[in-house]
Amino acid sequence: MRVIRCGGKTMAQGGISQVTNKEGSLFESTMERFDYAAQRLNLDPGLYRLLRCPNREITVYIPVMMDDGRLEVFIGYRVQHNIARGPCKGGIRYSPDVTLDEIKALAAWMTWKCAVVNIPFGGAKGGVICDPSKMSMSELERLTRRYTAELLDFIGPERDVPAPDLNTNEQVMAWIMDTYSMHARHTVNAAVTGKPVGLGGSRGRKEATGRGLTIIAKEAMQRFNLKLADSQVVIQGYGNVGSTTARLMHDEGCRIIAVSDIEGGIFNPDGIDIAKLDEHVSKHKSVTAYPDARAVGNEELLEIPCEILIPAATENQITTKNAGNIRTRILLEGANGPTSAGADPILEQKGVFVVPDILANAGGVTVSYFEWVQDRYGYFWREKDVNERLEEVMCNAFKDVYHYSQIHRESMRIASYMLAVDRVAYYTKIRGIYA
């Protein structure tokens, strides 16, 4: 273990600003965990101040000609949190709820996530305030291309590499890659990850977050001498991450007893047939009204007794308000930031084994790294190779974090932050500060 010490001073003596937990501020919620980890590492106060701030916050105003001839202006962000260990990496989300505070938090999480799985990237995140469900494909394309054009000086294979996130997909990545390439005057497929396979995307990227979660679920269950087969699993969210995880865990023999999406949830204690559910979803665009299960609300769903609960939707789903009612053995965070900092001690007291987002859902960015590597040497791996390498990275990261949690007697959450902050701080110190 490498620890950056601050010459015997405690963090408080180092003159660090006071942090209060506001469940409302995602950035403060994540920084509260960072602060505690930094304190446990006895981090140098200067490094603490540096790592607490993003490197860059970019706001762009994106004019888009709408189909009806109106000119709309959208607000977009890209926050680059840290580049100590390599180029920035992180997704882009499209949502009416995007805020700069949220993007800052998500960018910092990317830094820690890349460090936990030990891939050579820093962290970034982007977001555009828009409602893609109310926009046509051509409006979305114009929005994406202009947003990319506004960011041209800041992104690229060596600078900052975007990827899909909430409400963005392979198509959006293809537009970003094309816009970037048109300006570069040649095809630069390493400019984004999560592209279609035929455009330099990686096999297995689409399933990677769900596959990573399944690998980590197996590792976590082993710690309790439990088997994945026949365990009861509840999944909140049925987008790419939730649905892939459901399918892969179902294949492992798990009983997926409840799932939900934005419309509501379904529950069947005997287990849901995921292939049948997927057919239902492709027809009806929602899990609700699936015939072989009863309806449950999203709140009730989180409180169903189970072995593994996977929040795979959005932030702040488990808070001080409902943490006391969670009845799972393992909480596996598929989403980024599904648990507020205030909920952590409540879950710990209840004996819930929390596998934090920055470890649990890192499969996506890990295969993004593989994609970037494949693009840069122009040789593409078989899916089998991608999946084997993913398994190796995820298992090693789980072991590292578990080991840290044992030796420091801290939760998996704090241990993963400690491991990540230690790695980033160490290399920041080695690089030194350019003046």
Q: For residue 76, what is the DSSP state?
A: E
Q: Which is nearer to ligand GLU, 106 or 318 (CB)?
A: 106
* Residues facing residue 125 across a β-bridge: 79
The Cα-based distances of 106 to 15, 273, 348 in angstroms read 26, 34, 23
Q: Which residues contact 54 (CB under 8 A, 6 or more apart)?
A: 79, 80, 81, 82, 104, 107, 108
Nearer to ligand GLU, 371 or 410 (CB): 371
Q: What is the spatial distance between Cα 115 and Cα 359, in angstroms, rounded to a whole number?
A: 10
d(CA 340, CA 79): 21
* φ and ψ at residue 345, rounded to 5 degrees: -65, -30
Q: Quick one: 315 or 422, whose CB is closer to ligand GLU?
A: 315
Contact 244, 336 (CB under 8 A): no
Under 8 Å CB-to-CB from 407, ≥6 apart: which residues? 1
Per-residue tokens: 429: 């110190």
Q: Which residue among 89, 113, 125, 218 is the active-site one?
A: 125
Element (H, E) at 159: none
Least separation, in Å, of the C-beta of 73 and ligand GLU?
Answer: 26
Q: How far is the CB of 365 from ligand GLU (least distance, A)?
A: 4
89 or 250: CB nearest ligand GLU: 89
**Min dist. Cβ of residue 117 to ligand GLU (A):** 10
At residue 75, the 3 state secondary structure works out as strand
Residue nearest ligand GLU, Cβ-based? 91
Instruction: Confirm whether 134 is a catalytic residue.
Output: no
Q: How far is the CB of 128 from ligand GLU (least distance, A)?
A: 14
Kindly state the tokens that stand for 247.
């399918």
Cα 280 to Cα 206, 244, 311: the distances in Å are 21, 15, 21
Compute the least distance from the CB of residue 193 to ligand GLU, in Å. Answer: 5
Sheet with 71-82: list strands edge to edge.
56-65, 71-82, 122-129, 88-95, 160-164
**Given the complex with ligand GLU, which of 292 and 392 has the nearer CB atom?**
392
Q: How far is the CB of 22 from ligand GLU (least distance, A)?
A: 23
Residue closer to ligand GLU (CB basis): 47 or 172: 172
Site residues for ligand GLU per CB under 6 A: 89-91, 163, 165, 193, 336, 361, 364-365, 368
**How far apart, in Å, are the Cα atoms of 230 and each of 32, 257, 310, 373, 386?**
37, 11, 16, 37, 27
Please say which residue, 105 or 258, places its beta carbon nearer to ligand GLU.
105
Closest approach, Cβ 49 to ligand GLU, in A, equals 26
Burial degree of 149 (CB within 10 A; 0-12, 13-18, 19+): middle
Catalytic residues: 125
